[in-house]
Amino acid sequence: MEAKAIAKYVRVSPFKVQRVVSLIRGRPVREAQAMLRYMPSRTAQVVAKVLRSAVANAENNLELDGDALVVSRAFVDKGPSTKRMTPRARGRADILTKRSSHVTVVVAEKGR
């Protein structure tokens, strides 16, 4: 059985989140939580929150053992980007693209 959690419209660039997500993919949940706890990036906090939610879904909804869980899949999709204007020299303007992302974490029991 697999349990899944999704965080949508997170105001962090998907490129930054992808670096953190690739580190926890395939690892046991306890090890992944320990890694995320001591990472110095803001994106690690977002991924840790999604991982905690996926573990809670597995324990409460599917009655799986929390110590036997592994991060089977973890990926990031692009969310909508908001465009803002920033003033530049000589009356011109540039476009600032503020990106968002959707973070998905799937946990499963070992051996599945």
3-state helix, strand, coil in the chain (%, to 5): 40, 35, 25
Mean pLDDT of the region 13-39: 95
**What's the total number of domains in the chain?**
1
Record the tokens describing residue 71, joined without a space.
Answer: 């991060």
Query: What distance in Å separates the CA atoms of residue 86 and residue 92, rounded to the nearest whole number?
Result: 9
**Residue 112 predicted with pLDDT over 90:** no
Query: What distance in Å separates the CA atoms of residue 17 and residue 46, rounded to the nearest whole number?
Result: 9
Q: Which of 61, 30, 50, 48 is nearest to 104 (CA)?
A: 50
Supply the range of the domain harboring residue 26: 2-109
pLDDT digits (tens, 9 = 90+) for 9-21: 999 999 999 999 9
Query: What distance in Å separates the CA atoms of residue 90 and residue 70, rounded to the nearest whole number?
Result: 55
**106 confidence band (pLDDT: 50, 70, 90):** very high
The CATH number of residue 26's host domain is 3.90.470.10
pLDDT digits (tens, 9 = 90+) for 46-89: 999 999 999 999 999 999 998 899 999 999 999 999 999 999 99
